[in-house]
Structure 1
């Protein structure tokens, strides 16, 4: 297992290098540069000062020299300055990343709490009325656009009924660190998390239902039943254990979504996370923030792929990775 992890990490290195080159070149092709953010609030700056600043920042250097300097700055935690917010990108992301992680974890937990029991019921009692209801719900959730459903949830439970707040991550009047502060933060998570979770159960339910139906007719299950194994143990030890393999494999990719954030959910609920920040930065052409978020999302995707392979090899005893 250790050799496998080390080998995968070595494979990730050239992938990260290639990603960084693509992100850097795309950023260079866009209008604006590192100097734009520094002089955005000073319209009276003279051309001689601008030329001097460009030389000091190395913007006149060849692209490969600028790329190397950019990589060195990234490795030291210097991701540039936001054009719009006029603060360091690392500070800007740090304030929002925790919000995104909290929301992503809550969505992930709710998704599995809803999807796993429904998938087990649908797979075990195939063609029953419960299975038909679950399949209908699955088709409906698959066909419903997230942004429309989120707007509906916001309108009904936020504006009409007034049960939940309609924006933000916490009441700004509360003192940070108090019990009321954390309760209020959790309260702000409920509506956006449920809105996303109710539609993100589709893949888990479908995979689990299909795997249970397929595993029920396999030879090792028939053999267990022929030996007189109780039906409850047949399901828990044989059917469910093998049926959970695809779910375990996708868990790493789900973790990627925890880090990268939900653009639609954060935008609709005005939730201050990195998903909402990404949309705003693209609209406002805040390229230092955009490049930082693309790099962060790409790195999270690679980590999620690695975690999926590790989880799958740990869950499935038939897989041996040397």
Structure 2
């Protein structure tokens, strides 16, 4: 098991190296450079000043020299500076990273709170009216685009019913560190988290339903019933336990889905996280921030697949590579 984990970590190194090169080359291929956004924000400034800054910052150097400096700074913990916000990127990411983390965590909790009971009900009573309703919900949630569903939820529960705030991560009038501040953060977090969770349940529900249906037909379940084991214990000790274990392997892939969805969710709900910063940085051509965010999202996605592989290797040791 240890060899498997070490090997998977070693595989991550060339993946991250290739990812960093692709990110940097794509950023260089985009129109403009790191100072273009600043030039657009200050149209009355002399273009010669920006040209001098480009030369001073090495933006006119060959791409491989710029890439070497960028990677070298990353290894030293220097993320660079945002040319739009005029602050270090590390300081810019601080609060936003925390917001995205809590949004992702709460979304993940809601996803499993919704998906596991629905998958169990659909699998145990398959072909019933409850199963047909759950499968219908699954089809709809799979078909509807995330940004469309998010806009509908925002319109109904934000603008229509006024149950939730329509933007921000906390009420600015609440004093930081108080219990009211904590409740305000939760209140702002609930609607985007529930929205993302409702569309994140598709794979877990379907996989759990199919696993339960397949497990009900296995020989060890028939043997347990033949021995007179009560039906409740047959499901709790044999069917559910064996069906839920493989679902845990999808945890990492759910993390990847949530990371990708956070970009749309945070933008639509005006939630100040990394996803919203990513979109605004692209619009403002703040390429130094874009590079770091794409690298961070890529790393988290690779880490999510690694977590899934490790969990799956624990559940099913046959997949381990010796």
Q: Same fold judged by TM-score > 0.5?
A: yes
Equivalent residue number for residue 7 of structure 1: 7
Displacement after TM superposition at 1:92 (Å)? 1.6
Contact kept, 8 Å, 2:80 with 2:88, in 1: the verdict is: yes
Equivalent residue number for residue 231 of structure 1: 231
Contact kept, 8 Å, 2:4 with 2:320, in 1: the verdict is: no
Deviates more, 1:293-302 or 1:225-234: 225-234
Change over 3 Å in CA distance of 1:137–1:42 after alignment to 2: closer
The separation in 1 between residues aligned to 2:47 and 2:194, in whole angstroms, is 53
Equivalent residue number for residue 266 of structure 1: 266
Equivalent residue number for residue 27 of structure 1: 27
Change over 3 Å in CA distance of 1:151–1:258 after alignment to 2: closer
Equivalent residue number for residue 242 of structure 1: 242
Partner SS for 1:244: helix
Partner SS for 1:247: helix
The separation in 1 between residues aligned to 2:132 and 2:154, in whole angstroms, is 29
Displacement after TM superposition at 1:242 (Å)? 2.4
2:150 maps to 1:164? no
Partner SS for 2:232: helix
The separation in 2 between residues aligned to 1:275 and 1:51, in whole angstroms, is 31
Equivalent residue number for residue 128 of structure 1: 128
- Aligned residues, how many? 321
2:253 maps to 1:253? yes
TM-score, length-normalised on structure 1? 0.91
Displacement after TM superposition at 1:318 (Å)? 6.2
Displacement after TM superposition at 1:78 (Å)? 2.2
Unmatched 5+ residue regions in structure 2? none
Equivalent residue number for residue 173 of structure 1: 173
Within 5 Å, give how 1:144-223 maps onto structure 2.
144-223=144-223
The separation in 2 between residues aligned to 1:81 and 1:110, in whole angstroms, is 36
The separation in 1 between residues aligned to 2:261 and 2:127, in whole angstroms, is 37
Change over 3 Å in CA distance of 1:129–1:261 after alignment to 2: closer
Contact kept, 8 Å, 1:81 with 1:288, in 2: the verdict is: yes
Within 5 Å, give how 1:39-188 maps onto structure 2.
41=42, 43-45=44-46, 47=48, 53-188=53-188
Deviates more, 1:186-195 or 1:141-150: 141-150
The separation in 1 between residues aligned to 2:199 and 2:52, in whole angstroms, is 54
Change over 3 Å in CA distance of 1:235–1:150 after alignment to 2: same
The separation in 2 between residues aligned to 1:151 and 1:37, in whole angstroms, is 29
TM-score, length-normalised on structure 2? 0.91
Contact kept, 8 Å, 1:37 with 1:86, in 2: the verdict is: no
Partner SS for 1:80: coil
Unmatched 5+ residue regions in structure 1? none
Change over 3 Å in CA distance of 1:31–1:319 after alignment to 2: closer
Change over 3 Å in CA distance of 1:210–1:316 after alignment to 2: same
Q: Deviations 1:229-274 (Å, cap 9, x if unpaired)?
A: 3322322232222222442121012223455551222111111111
The separation in 1 between residues aligned to 2:105 and 2:42, in whole angstroms, is 38
The separation in 1 between residues aligned to 2:160 and 2:34, in whole angstroms, is 46
Contact kept, 8 Å, 1:101 with 1:261, in 2: the verdict is: no
Displacement after TM superposition at 1:85 (Å)? 2.1
Change over 3 Å in CA distance of 1:85–1:249 after alignment to 2: same
Q: Deviations 1:83-122 (Å, cap 9, x if unpaired)?
A: 3322222222222111111111111111110110111011
Q: Deviations 1:19-40 (Å, cap 9, x if unpaired)?
A: 1111111112223334546766
